[in-house]
């Protein structure tokens, strides 16, 4: 096996988060459903961008958040995702590289603009997201950098990528390259509705060995096996996957292998502010632990620690060094 350049490569939707404060009246005026993730078209995206107040622009997207978490923990992270050669594409590229993540996917030229999620935060802390997917849906097999995949201990990808057909084929190609070089692959099931859409394909990926490690929250795990009983879903995961992790919010997580089940408590919080990014950062902590040779229970603790940091402030990226935080906690 050749030497690795990266601990974890994440593959996902490259989205710029544009976050602005807004009053409830503004949401009503603009017909924005409060607290929801609303998918919008390019024209609507341009309109909202024009009328929103002063905003913070930063690279986002689920897998991008996981890469950011790994970099914050001191790991070597890479990201593959598609942005356009436009203002927001350059914002995304600069931002993700600035936090120490390798990102070298070619720009999409003369086509859809870069994906963006316009997030309006009301005085009560509620986030209303308006997402235009644009360029990120054009991720395809030619974007799968074989050298980066071969040089990464684990390749991790979002279930959300199963929506665009080209991305689906690209992920299968990436998994094939990873396994040819004796590397591991991992999937986040993304959300229960995504699981509903692609249940049979996800089960095929897991049972067929395309995916080695599965991340799911309790709702996604239950959706995968069409059960209302989490214990039933966990027993099914034990049969189907060599390693799975099911997160349970305030109740911590469960790590499931063929041989054992390990329960790990969540870290105590000062204040729950915003749960956006909790699953992304949990995956970052767990994967960092795994690629740095930790025991499975310590991997889960690192995941819970990273998740606890991100839910105590607005935004899906760490605001402190997770490496220092882990050292303070003896991890």
Q: Which residue has the higher pLDDT, 8 or 325?
A: 8
Q: Summarize the confidence of residues 309-331 as an average pLDDT.
A: 80
Q: Across 52-124, where does the E strand assignment appear?
A: 55-60, 77-80, 101-103, 115-121
**Percentage of the chain lying above the pLDDT 70 cut:** 99
pLDDT at 250 (0 to 100): 82
Instruction: Give the containing element (helix H, strand E) for 6.
Output: strand 6-11
Question: Is the model's pLDDT at 1 over the cut of 70?
Answer: no
Which pLDDT does position 276 carry in this prediction?
72
Q: What is the pLDDT of residue 2?
A: 66
Task: Read off the pLDDT of each residue in 293-308 and give the average, rounded to a whole number.
Answer: 91
67 near 78, Cβ under 8 Å?
yes
Of the listed ranges 64-78, 245-259, 307-321, the one predicted with least confidence: 307-321
Average the pLDDT over 206-211 and give the result.
Answer: 93
Q: State the pLDDT at residue 138.
A: 92
Sheet holding 6-11, edge to edge: 101-103, 77-80, 6-11, 152-158, 184-188, 213-217, 243-247, 253-257, 261-264
Token reading at 161:
């990528």
Q: Over 80: is that where the pLDDT of 313 sits?
A: no
Specify the pTM: 0.90
Determine the Cα–Cα distance for residues 285 and 304; give it in Å rounded to an integer. Answer: 7
Backbone torsions φ then ψ of 74, nearest 5 degrees:
95, 10
Q: Is the dihedral of CA 129, 130, 133, 135 positive or negative?
A: negative
Which domains does the chain show, CATH number per domain?
A: 6-12+61-114+134-328 (3.40.1190.20)
């Amino acid at each position: 096996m050749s030497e690795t350049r990266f601990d974890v490569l994440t593959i996902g939707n490259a989205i710029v988060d544009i976050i602005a404060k807004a009053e409830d009246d503004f949401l009503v005026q603009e017909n924005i459903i409060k607290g929801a993730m609303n998918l919008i078209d390019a024209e609507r995206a341009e309109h909202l961008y024009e009328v929103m107040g002063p905003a913070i622009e930063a690279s986002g997207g689920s897998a991008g958040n996981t890469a950011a978490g790994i970099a914050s923990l001191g790991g070597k992270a890479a990201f593959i995702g598609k942005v356009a050669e436009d203002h927001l594409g350059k914002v995304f590229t600069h931002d993700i590289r600035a936090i120490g993540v390798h990102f070298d996917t070619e720009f999409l030229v003369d086509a859809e603009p870069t994906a963006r999620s316009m997030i309006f935060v009301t005085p009560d802390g509620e986030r209303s997201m308006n997402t235009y997917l644009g360029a990120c849906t054009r991720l395809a097999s030619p974007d799968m950098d074989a050298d980066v995949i071969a040089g990464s201990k684990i390749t991790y990808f979002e279930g959300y990528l199963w929506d665009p057909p080209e991305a689906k084929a690209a992920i299968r190609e990436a998994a094939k390259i990873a396994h040819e070089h004796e590397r591991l692959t991992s999937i986040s099931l993304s959300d229960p509705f995504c699981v509903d859409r692609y249940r049979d394909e996800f089960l095929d990926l897991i049972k067929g060995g395309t995916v080695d490690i599965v991340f799911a929250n309790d709702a996604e795990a239950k959706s995968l096996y069409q059960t209302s009983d989490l214990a039933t879903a966990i027993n099914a995961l034990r049969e189907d996957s060599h390693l799975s992790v099911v997160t349970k919010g305030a109740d911590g997580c469960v790590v499931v292998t063929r041989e054992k089940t390990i329960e790990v408590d969540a870290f105590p919080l000062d204040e729950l502010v915003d749960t956006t990014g909790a699953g992304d950062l949990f995956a970052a902590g767990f994967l960092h632990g795994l690629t740095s040779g930790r025991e499975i229970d310590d991997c889960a603790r690192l995941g819970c620690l990273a998740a606890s940091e991100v839910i105590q402030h607005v935004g899906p990226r760490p605001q402190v060094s997770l490496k220092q935080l882990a050292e303070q906690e003896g991890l």
